[in-house]
Amino acid sequence: MSMDRRLARRIILIGVILLFTIFTGIAGFHIIEGYSIFDAFYMTLITISTVGYQELRPLSRAGRIFNSFLIFFGVTAMFFAGAMTQTIIELELGDQLGRRRTRRMISKLENHFIVCGFGRVGRSLAHELRRAGVPFLVLDRSEERVQNAAQSGILLTRSLTRKGQG
């Protein structure tokens, strides 16, 4: 699965979790405490954001039990969303910086070899060139092979041609 697709799925997951928590809070305060939809939304918002304003009016025992669960799940959802957002930003930023560094390294190459493909033979050749200290660049169209080469510390770029072209 591509990075963009995983990123989109994670953002959607964050949105779904937060919306589910908010709608559950609104429904609970509306049904249990008889709050208007807006007041129920307000109570949900101050509860899951941990702002800590007091209740609009004292809660019943059932309302306090519901609010206790909403605090637990709401804060957990907010923490999860924050942690996931931070991870997404770090991954995207790291990916961008890594690509920029790779482009810069490629542009500085001179008198180098180009290894086409990072399959069995390409891996073996790259290993020998690296051992000999010879500058080289690997081209491959397989995202999996690109990842394997990058993890091995090999300078590699993804070929833009597709199978059957060139």
Q: Mean pLDDT lowest for which of 73-77, 123-127, 130-134, 157-161?
A: 157-161
Q: How many domains does the chain have?
A: 2
Q: Taken in order 18, 24, 27, 30, is the CA torsion positive or negative?
A: negative
Residue 101 lies in a domain: no
**133 and 71, same structural domain?**
no
**9 and 61, same structural domain?**
yes
Residue 82 lies in a domain: yes
- The string of pLDDT tens digits covering residues 45-89 is 999 888 878 888 889 999 999 999 999 998 888 888 888 777 777
- The string of pLDDT tens digits covering residues 111-124 is 777 778 788 888 88
Residue 55 lies in a domain: yes
Residue 85 lies in a domain: yes
Query: Among the three residues 95, 128, 149, which one is the final residue of a domain in this structure?
Result: 95
Residue 18 lies in a domain: yes
**114 and 90, same structural domain?**
no
Give the domain extent around 83. 3-95
**79 and 31, same structural domain?**
yes
Mind giving me the DSSP string for the chain?
--HHHHHHHHHHHHHHHHHHHHHHHHHHHHHHH---HHHHHHHHHHHHTT--PPPSSPPPHHHHHHHHHHHHHHHHHHHHHHHHHHHHHHHHHHHHHHHHHHHHHHHH--S-EEEE--SHHHHHHHHHHHHHT--EEEEES-HHHHHHHHHTT--EEE-SPPTT--
Residue 136 lies in a domain: yes
Asked if residue 161 has pLDDT above 70, the reply is no
